[in-house]
Chain A
Amino acid sequence: MTAALLELRGLTGGYPPVSVFRDVNLTIKPGEHVGFFGPNGHGKTTLLKTIAGVLDPWDGGIYFEGNRLNAEGAMQARVSHNLNYDLFRKRRIKARDVVDAGLIYVMQGNLLFPEMTVEEVLDIAPRAARGRPGVGQMRRQIHDLFPRLRERWQSKVRYLSGGERQMVSIAVGLLAMPRLLMLDEPTLGLSPKLRIELSQAVQNIRETGVPLIIVDQNVEFLTSLVDRLILFDHGTVTREIPAENMPDHAQLMEMMFGGAH
């Protein structure tokens, strides 16, 4: 068996003191494209943000290409409300280490940098690549993937449409030369036409061999792009469905809610 690309072992986390996801175990193999599906507000974004190092995991391990990204052991509960507790509390995972490792997260509904132009944003994005090769080629590829962005090159991100902003976010993720790219609800708020356009772009990214984790509420979009579908419910992985028997929307609802819908 080849080594796992990303492995989560008993990962638990949330927004203290509210726990959002519990005991998540998951293995993603190199070259795999995985979809996450689950109801709103059940912790998919929280899980991805924890993996990306924005939030501290409470317990469990995050391993990427065999290396542990977070600190060992469980997070201590807050002991004092009087002292400046933050001064003594170390972060248990650093976003920079995660980016260094090549694990790149594209945020849900990302506002990016509202006062910067598309050109400026894409100029600083390769900083995250940390010298991984291929940035020049990726720049050219982005023009082909998102021809729309060409026309908006000098616009501030603030003036972009939701779809265009999503494209910039994904382009930023790609310029980091990811070894695994996590897309959080890329189709959120997009028109059907734009969704098809984006779906084509993600398909092209997939063909370049970048492993993907895609979280989305749109079943058709998701099933057309991934090799494996993971159902995420009440803060934990409830089911994994291989590519052979990808369900459609109705079947999926049946699986998740037991025919109540």
Chain B
Amino acid sequence: MAFDTFMFILMSGILLGGLYALMATGLAVVWTTLGVFNFAHGAFVTLGAYVAWQVTQPVAGGFGFMIAVLMSVTVMFCLGFVLHFALIKPFERNQNVVLLAVISTLAAASIIENGVLLTWGPRDKQITPPIGSRINFFGASINAFDFVILAVALLALFALALFLRRTTMGRTLRAAAQNREAAELMGLDVPRLFAITLGISAATAALAGIFVGSLRFINPSFGADPLMKSLIVVILGGVARFTSPIYAAFVVGIAESFSAYFLGLYWSPALLFAMMIAVLLIKPEGLFGHRSKTL
């Protein structure tokens, strides 16, 4: 294999890894804080992309890419915040809350997906990327925008980590995640903190959705694949540390892009699931960490 082909595959794997890292972290933060898996995460990715697409259209004023990102992220944060009170809070005192949340978030995913279908129709759309030029990277010709996506995704994750560690608000979020009762006895408004967490998660999903939508096409059900990949990433990496799913995301991204080249597109999900099952058998708490969940 030529070196430039290798670089090309590696770079597309790394780009994929950056996107998966963004999506999986959103999922992991909700899992470690609210204690439930959010199956509407993929629908958040979809809706976020559609909101941004709409903002760039002439009917909505034809705003630029940056405005579209800001609008979509804000809208999705608010939606996530509100949805906590509809999807998870009503069941939080039930002992089967994890199972009930699976059902309520699956329902929300279905409602959002069909809402998108009704509003925007089934045809593929694309968000016009703001940068179209290509650059030569070790012999491989790569989209300049790919580097921007990777940088912004990593920057967003870094900002989120900094928010959780350094700000009082972020620390109260972690406190509520680690010991709900003690957080309540500290007078913290735990439902509000949980709603903010779901909001942040939805905002990161929207950002990822916009990036995917400017690389490929979007349609009402395109979020299903990111959701599945994020689940694989979270299971593979575990959630022992904030960075665990991020490492796993790059492992999955690079594995996927090499397997797509060597084994073909249809085999890469099978390979990823095989990897996931192998990890579950050998190290159920995930590759990168030894405890089950923290933040």
Which A109-133 residues have a C-beta within 8 angstroms of B? 110-116, 120-121, 123-125, 127-128, 130
A33 vs B273: C-alpha distance when bound (angstroms): 62
A104 vs B186: C-alpha distance when bound (angstroms): 8
User: Given A86-B93, A86-B94, is A115 in contact with B185 using a C-beta cutoff of 8 Å?
Assistant: no
Q: Is B132 in the interface zone, CB < 8 Å from A?
A: no
Is the pair B172, A127 in contact by a Cβ cutoff of 8 Å? yes
> B166-199 CB contact bits vs A (8 Å, 1 = yes)?
0010011011001101111111110000000000
Is the pair A123, B168 in contact by a Cβ cutoff of 8 Å? yes
Is the pair A52, B185 in contact by a Cβ cutoff of 8 Å? yes
* Residue total for B at the interface (Cβ-Cβ under 8 A): 24
Q: Which secondary structure dominates chain B's binding surface?
A: helix
A100 vs B179: C-alpha distance when bound (angstroms): 20
Is the pair B178, A130 in contact by a Cβ cutoff of 8 Å? no
Q: How near does chain B come to A79, taking the closest CB pair, in angstroms?
A: 16
Q: Is A145 in the interface zone, CB < 8 Å from B?
A: no
Is the pair B174, A113 in contact by a Cβ cutoff of 8 Å? yes
Q: Is B8 in the interface zone, CB < 8 Å from A?
A: no
* Residue total for A at the interface (Cβ-Cβ under 8 A): 30
Q: How near does chain A come to B162, taking the closest CB pair, in angstroms?
A: 13
Is the pair A176, B168 in contact by a Cβ cutoff of 8 Å? no
Is the pair A54, B185 in contact by a Cβ cutoff of 8 Å? yes
User: Given A96-B187, A176-B187, is A84 in contact with B94 using a C-beta cutoff of 8 Å?
Assistant: yes
Chain B's closest residue to A119 (CB) is B171
A111 vs B93: C-alpha distance when bound (angstroms): 21
Q: Is B90 in the interface zone, CB < 8 Å from A?
A: yes
A105 vs B184: C-alpha distance when bound (angstroms): 11
A107 vs B183: C-alpha distance when bound (angstroms): 11
A interface with B by C-beta (< 8 Å) = 52-54, 84, 86-87, 95-96, 99-100, 104-105, 107, 110-116, 120-121, 123-125, 127-128, 130, 172, 176
